[in-house]
């Protein structure tokens, strides 16, 4: 594992389902982003608030950019561990980073990131509020 992974961070566990795989039983490339999304939601929840609660405070986090580097295949019925953290804050944006590992965290399967704008319900940029930065910097 990388010692320089940002902190605070969580580990999200996911079992690869049959429907997430291609005809060779390998995790379909687009599904990595879905798993990253689940890990991101769990990161927010682990900080003490659901993403739905964040949206109710008029903060929406659309993805502006997504990146994934595939290093080794995940396969049907594998249990994977996704390390998730925030690596960067902008004035009105944030970046999550992800590492997907095998079950015992000995083989790195993929790395990725998603950059999110902060906007209100009208789609206008919003400066990162202090409450959100404080919330997401303090895992419970």
CB-based contact 133:4 (threshold 8 Å): no
Q: What is the pLDDT of residue 70?
A: 98
Among 137, 87, 138, 139, which residue's Cα sits nearest to residue 111? 87
CB-based contact 79:103 (threshold 8 Å): yes
- Reported as a pLDDT band with limits 50, 70 and 90, residue 138 is confident
Instruction: Give the model confidence (pLDDT) of 57-72 as tens digits.
Output: 999 999 999 999 999 9
| Dist CA 53 CA 112 (whole Å) | 25
CA–chain centroid gap for 135, Å, is 16
Instruction: Give the model confidence (pLDDT) of 78-87 as tens digits.
Output: 999 999 999 9
Q: What is the pTM of this model?
A: 0.95
Q: If you average pLDDT over residues 36-45, what whole number do you get?
A: 98
CB-based contact 51:41 (threshold 8 Å): yes
């Amino acid at each position: 594992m990388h010692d320089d992974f940002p902190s605070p961070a969580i580990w999200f566990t996911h079992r690869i389902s049959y429907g997430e795989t291609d005809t060779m039983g390998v995790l379909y490339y687009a599904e990595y982003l879905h798993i990253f999304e689940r890990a991101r939601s769990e990161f927010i929840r682990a900080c003490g608030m659901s993403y739905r609660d964040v949206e109710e405070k008029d903060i929406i986090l659309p993805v502006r950019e997504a990146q994934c580097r595939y290093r080794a295949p995940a396969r049907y019925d594998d249990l994977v561990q996704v390390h998730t953290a925030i690596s960067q804050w902008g004035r009105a944006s944030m970046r999550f980073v992800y590492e997907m590992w095998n079950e015992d965290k000995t083989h790195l399967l993929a790395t990725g990131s998603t950059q999110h704008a902060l906007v209100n319900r009208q789609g206008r940029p919003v400066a990162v509020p202090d409450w959100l930065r404080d919330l997401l910097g303090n895992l419970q």
